[in-house]
């Protein structure tokens, strides 16, 4: 039996045939052959050779290799091409969105849609509602201004014009722990810090547009969407100097203690800079919906002078209209391509509500994601999900977990919908400016992640030789979010392109 086994081993290749020329005994040869077979079949877990160009970049920048995890695998192969620190849990930043959106696509299905309901809590006589209008949200992450306008337009078409009561916002479909909007990095007015909401209108974000008027020598400031409750104090100074890119300073202050949401802009604005847009979140959730609703309702010819409050739709309220969102397969595109945090957080809460019952919560969302990973044969060990978006200091995932998940998704029926949601190198989304002048143009669907001291990347590449690879790079190190982190990623991608 031992001789037969050795004969089989001798046919396996030079490394095993060497046993016959080293003076090893038959029993020793069998034992050593087994060890060699294990080494060939099962490469070291959590460690593997990094490409030499990547090692050179690390050494030149003084970045320790234990701050880096890499998982690269041809989608047709059993073993990874590169597996380096692949089992070390690291903060993946926005690459975590891959996990949330892939889970949602398979658990909810690509055709899943969200609803938003309008109820009349009062008596309707002709075109007049003597009572409150209740808007109940079910988590639509893409209820942008155009969709909200269409929703209100349908209410007008149904004959409703005058509302004598208040606007009541029903957010009960989600259970959300109150949190400071600026808790992540102390920037509460930046759009990426918006908190989730079951009735999320236009990401709770205004676009402030600055436009120099050479005739009046003033800087015009407009907002989108329009709001009946937002006041702007424009103190921007028109100047004739040269535009120095981001060196000109626009100062924005949100003034507290006033009846309306009041924003003051000040500073010098060189006319040579042309128009400039600023996305900011300056209102509470209720105030934002109230202001936008009132402005749009009046534009549509409606009358409304009431206030706003949170509440729930009474059991006896009359349902006026149900708005349906775009399907999930469309909605995950802006989530991944533009790394929209609040959209992904809404999706994460929706997962919990749809699978384990309303209200949706972070804990329920975590359970659903882990259940789905286990169902596709991916070990969720070491996975820590904070809110599903990756905007977190505590989220953790290994490169192997993300890589194996990407591989399973690539083999699934919903692969086209998922892959097309990822930024396309040199073409769109967060990858629009990457690899514009090289041969990788349009050959990678890659999601990136970036927060302080974290840079990450995950997705798919079609290389020069027609091979498709799953690629995951996770970097956690002081200041790695600066240029060095990009150089490490780019060097690996360029090396892989020629394999």
The string of DSSP codes covering 19-52 is GGGTT--HHHHHHHHHHHHHHHHSPPTT--PPPH
Q: Does a structural domain hold residue 159?
A: yes
**Above pLDDT 90, what percent of the chain?**
85
For residue 276, what are the CA distances in angstroms to 59, 61, 243? 41, 36, 12
User: Do 341 and 281 meet the contact criterion of CB atoms below 8 Å apart?
Assistant: no
**Separation CA 479–CA 64 (nearest Å):** 13
349 and 292: one domain? no
Q: Does a structural domain hold residue 264?
A: yes
Q: Does a structural domain hold residue 12?
A: no
106 and 126: one domain? no
Over residues 44-49, mean pLDDT: 48
Q: What are phi and psi of 277, to 5 degrees?
A: -110, 140
451 and 486: one domain? yes
273 and 332: one domain? no
Among all chains, which residue has been given the structure tokens 């394999």? Answer: 499
- Beta-bridge partners for 236: 267
Token representation of residue 1: 């039996």
Q: Does a structural domain hold residue 64?
A: yes
416 and 368: one domain? yes
Q: What is the CATH number of the domain that holds 450?
A: 3.40.710.10
Q: Domain end: 306, 324, 342, which one? A: 324
Token representation of residue 470: 């799953």
Closest CA to 341 of 192, 141, 203: 192
Whether the per-residue pLDDT at 18 is higher than 80: the answer is no
Q: Does a structural domain hold residue 400?
A: yes
Burial class (CB within 10 angstroms; exposed 0-12, middle 13-18, buried 19+) of 315: exposed
CA 16 centroid distance within chain: 49
Q: Does a structural domain hold residue 40?
A: no
**Separation CA 53–CA 488 (nearest Å):** 9
Sign of CA dihedral 138, 140, 144, 150: negative
User: Do 173 and 139 meet the contact criterion of CB atoms below 8 Å apart?
Assistant: yes
303 and 212: one domain? no
365 and 486: one domain? yes
DSSP annotation of 423: P
Closest CA to 90 of 70, 117, 113: 70
- Share in percent of the chain as helix, strand, coil (round to 5): 35, 25, 40
Task: Read off the pLDDT band of 294 (50, 70, 90).
Answer: very high
What pLDDT sits at residue 31? 38
Torsion of CA 55, 60, 64, 69, to 10 degrees: -40
Burial class (CB within 10 angstroms; exposed 0-12, middle 13-18, buried 19+) of 226: middle
User: Do 480 and 63 meet the contact criterion of CB atoms below 8 Å apart?
Assistant: yes
Mean pLDDT of the chain: 90
- What digits encode the pLDDT tens for the residues 163-210? 999 999 999 999 998 889 999 999 999 999 999 999 999 999 999 999
341 and 450: one domain? yes
What pLDDT sits at residue 242? 85
174 and 294: one domain? yes
56 and 172: one domain? no
What pLDDT sits at residue 438? 85
Over residues 273-301, mean pLDDT: 96
Q: What SS3 state is found at 120?
A: strand
| Whole-structure pTM value | 0.89
Whether the per-residue pLDDT at 289 is higher than 70: the answer is yes
**Separation CA 461–CA 447 (nearest Å):** 11
Sign of CA dihedral 304, 306, 311, 314: negative
**Separation CA 143–CA 194 (nearest Å):** 14
**Separation CA 26–CA 44 (nearest Å):** 27
What pLDDT sits at residue 257? 77
Q: Does a structural domain hold residue 126?
A: yes
Q: What is the CATH number of the domain that holds 138?
A: 3.50.80.20
190 vs 39, residue with greater confidence: 190
What pLDDT sits at residue 48? 54
In the sheet that 454-462 helps form, which strands lie side by side, from edge to edge?
A: 82-84, 68-74, 468-476, 454-462, 444-451
CA 154 centroid distance within chain: 31
Over residues 274-290, mean pLDDT: 95
What are the DSSP E strand ranges found in 200-260?
Answer: 206-213, 218-224, 230-239, 251-255
- Beta-bridge partners for 362: none
What pLDDT sits at residue 247? 53
- Beta-bridge partners for 474: 69, 456
| Stated length of the chain | 499
Structural domains of the chain, count: 3
Pairing between strand 218-224 and 303-304? Answer: unpaired
What pLDDT sits at residue 437? 86
- What digits encode the pLDDT tens for the residues 103-134? 999 999 999 999 999 999 999 999 999 999 99
Whether the per-residue pLDDT at 26 is higher than 50: the answer is no
Q: Does a structural domain hold residue 464?
A: yes
The whole domain housing 456 covers: 52-111+328-497
424 and 436: one domain? yes
- What digits encode the pLDDT tens for the residues 419-470? 999 999 999 999 999 999 889 999 999 999 999 999 999 999 999 999 999 9
138 and 228: one domain? no
User: Do 302 and 271 meet the contact criterion of CB atoms below 8 Å apart?
Assistant: no
């Amino acid at each position: 039996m031992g001789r037969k086994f050795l004969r089989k081993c001798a046919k396996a290749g030079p490394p095993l045939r060497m046993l016959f020329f080293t003076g090893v005994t038959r029993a020793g040869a069998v034992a050593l052959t087994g060890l060699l077979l294990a080494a060939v079949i099962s490469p070291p877990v959590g460690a593997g050779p990094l490409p030499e160009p990547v090692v050179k970049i690390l050494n030149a920048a003084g970045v320790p290799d234990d701050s880096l995890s890499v998982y690269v695998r041809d989608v047709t192969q059993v073993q990874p091409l590169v597996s380096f620190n692949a089992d070390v849990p690291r903060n993946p930043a926005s690459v975590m969105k891959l996990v949330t959106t892939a889970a949602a696509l398979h658990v909810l299905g690509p055709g899943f849609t969200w609803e938003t309901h309008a109820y009349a809590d009062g008596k309707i006589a002709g075109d007049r509602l003597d009572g409150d209008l209740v808007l109940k949200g079910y988590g639509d992450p893409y209820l942008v201004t155009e969709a909200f306008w269409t929703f209100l337009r349908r209410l007008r078409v149904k004959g409703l014009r005058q509302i004598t009561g208040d606007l009541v916002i029903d957010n009960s479909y989600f259970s959300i722990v109150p949190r400071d909007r600026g808790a992540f990095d102390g920037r509460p007015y930046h759009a990426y810090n918006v908190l989730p909401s079951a009735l999320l209108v236009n990401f709770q974000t205004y676009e402030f547009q600055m436009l120099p008027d050479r005739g009046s020598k003033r800087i015009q400031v407009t907002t989108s969407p329009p709001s009946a409750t937002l006041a702007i104090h424009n103190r921007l100074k028109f100047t004739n100097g040269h535009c120095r890119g981001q060196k000109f300073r626009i100062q924005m202050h949100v003034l507290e203690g006033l009846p309306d949401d009041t924003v003051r802009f000040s500073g010098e604005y060189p006319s040579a800079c042309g128009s400039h847009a600023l996305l900011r979140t300056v209102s509470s959730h209720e105030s934002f919906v109230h202001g936008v609703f009132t402005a749009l309702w009046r534009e549509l010819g409606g009358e409304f002078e009431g206030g706003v409050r949170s509440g729930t739709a009474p059991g006896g309220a009359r349902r006026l209209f149900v708005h349906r969102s775009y399907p999930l397969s469309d909605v995950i595109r802006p989530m991944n391509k533009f790394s929209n945090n609040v959209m992904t957080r809404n999706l994460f809460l929706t997962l919990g509500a749809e699978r384990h019952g309303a209200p949706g919560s972070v804990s329920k969302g975590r359970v659903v994601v882990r259940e789905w990973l286990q169902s596709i044969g991916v070990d969720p060990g070491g996975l820590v999900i904070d809110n599903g978006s990756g905007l977190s200091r505590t989220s953790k995932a290994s490169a192997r977990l993300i890589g194996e998940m990407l591989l399973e998704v690539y083999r699934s029926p919903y692969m086209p919908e998922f892959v097309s949601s990822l930024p396309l190198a040199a073409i769109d989304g967060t990858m629009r400016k990457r690899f514009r002048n090289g041969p990788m143009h349009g050959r990678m669907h890659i999601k990136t992640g970036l927060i302080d001291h974290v840079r990450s990347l995950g997705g798919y590449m079609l290389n020069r030789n027609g091979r498709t690879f799953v690629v995951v790079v996770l970097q956690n190190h002081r200041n790695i979010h600066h240029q060095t982190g990009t150089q490490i990623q780019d060097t690996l991608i360029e090396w892989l392109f020629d394999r």
